[in-house]
Amino acid sequence: MNKILITGGAGYIGTKLTSLLLQHNFHVTIFDNLLFGGDHLLQFINKKNFNFIKGDIRKIKDIEKTNISKFQVIVHLASIVGYPACRSNPILARQTNIDGTKNILKLKEKNQLVIFASTGSNYGSKKEVVSENSKLDPLSLYAESKVINENMIKKTKNFIIYRFATAFGSSPRMRLDLLINDFLFKAITEGYLVVYEKDHQRTFIHVDDIANSILFAIKNSNKMKNEIFNVGDESLNFSKQQICDKIKKKIKKLYIHYAEVDKDMDQRNYIVSYKKIKQIGFKTKISIDEGLDELIKSIPLLKKNKNYSNI
C-alpha cells in the first residue's frame, strides 16, 4: 500500500497527513480544487514522492485525470466541512459531499481501500454514551451528508470509516472555525468570549492524532477493513465550560460570559466510546492543554484578513 491518493488533501487534515505519510516513505498524490488556496503545499513540492493534481471532485472527468486505479489507498477527505459551511451553501455541500463521493466510488477498483473521514456529528444529541452501533441522529446537512456517504461506502466492502471527534490544533491550512481554535483565537485577539449552552459536551482530537489515526489504518487495514470506528479518546471529552476553564488558566485577563438566553445553532451534545479502536491498538497522544499551548504560539503568526474558516 505504497501509493496513496488524498482527496481534499490541501485542507486542514490533508496537509498534516501528507507530511506524515511522506515521512513514512509513501507516495502521496493530493487531488484538490484549492478552494482555500495552495501556498501551504509549497513545502512538499521538492519531495520526490509527492504529486499534486488540481481538480473538482464534483467532476468525474477531473477525477479520471488522477488515473485512480494506480493507488492502493484512497483517503477520502474532500468535503464541505462543518455545520456553518454546509448551511451557508447547501447546494455546493450536497454536490461536493454526496455527488463527489459517488464519483469516487464509480471509478475506484474493488481491491482499492477507501478510508473515509466521517464525523461524530452523526450522533446528534444523546444522553447515553454512544458507540459505533448507536442509532445515528444527524442534526445538520453536514452530518446528513456524512451518513449518506457512510451508507454508500459500506456497499463497496473494502473500506474503513472513521467517525472523528471534533478537531483542534494548528495546521498549515489553518482553521479557526473549530470550537477550541475559535475560542482561543477570540480569547487572544478580543479578550472575551460569549458562550452558549456551556454544559454541552463533545470529545476533541488534535489534528496530528487524526493524521496518525489514518496512518494507523493504512498499516493495520487487514484488522480494520469493512468496519466503522469512532476516533478520539474519552480523556478528551469536555463541556464548553470546561474548555473555557482551561483557556482561562492560560489567559488570565480573559472575560467569559455564559449566556443564559439564546442558543448555539450547532446543537451537538454527546459522549462517545472509543473502546473499539483502542482494542485494535490506536491511542491519541496530544492532550487539550498541549494543544492549547501550541495554539497560543501559533495564533500570533496568522496573517490578518486571511480566511481561516471553511465558511
Q: What is the DSSP string of 30-81?
A: EEE--TT-SGGGGGGTT-TTEEEEE--TT-HHHHHTT-GGG-SEEEE--S--
CATH 3.40.50.720 fits domain 3-168+203-234: yes
The three cell numbers locating residue 52: 499534486
Read off the pLDDT of residues 142-171 as tens digits, 9 standing for 90 and up: 999 999 999 999 999 899 999 999 999 999
pLDDT in tens, 218-263: 999 999 999 999 999 999 999 999 999 999 999 999 999 998 876 6
pLDDT at 305: 75
Is the predicted pLDDT of residue 51 greater than 80, yes or no? yes
Q: According to the model, what pLDDT value does residue 1 have?
A: 65
Which pLDDT does position 139 carry in this prediction?
Answer: 87
Q: What is the mean pLDDT of the chain?
A: 94
How far apart (Å, rounded) are the C-alpha atoms in residues 243 and 248? 9
DSSP-derived secondary structure for 93-114 = HHIIIIIHHHHHHHHS-TT-EE
Do the two domains 3-168+203-234 and 179-202+235-271+287-301 of this chain adopt the same fold? no
The pLDDT value given to residue 87? 92
Q: Give the Cα separation of 50 and 27 in Å (integer).
A: 6
CATH T-level fold of 179-202+235-271+287-301: UDP-galactose 4-epimerase; domain 1 (3.90.25)
- Rounded to whole angstroms, the Cα distance separating 180 from 188 reads 12
The residue with cell 488556496 is 37
- pLDDT, tens only, 86-127: 999 999 999 999 999 999 999 999 999 999 999 999 998 888
Indicate the domain borders of the chain.
3-168+203-234, 179-202+235-271+287-301
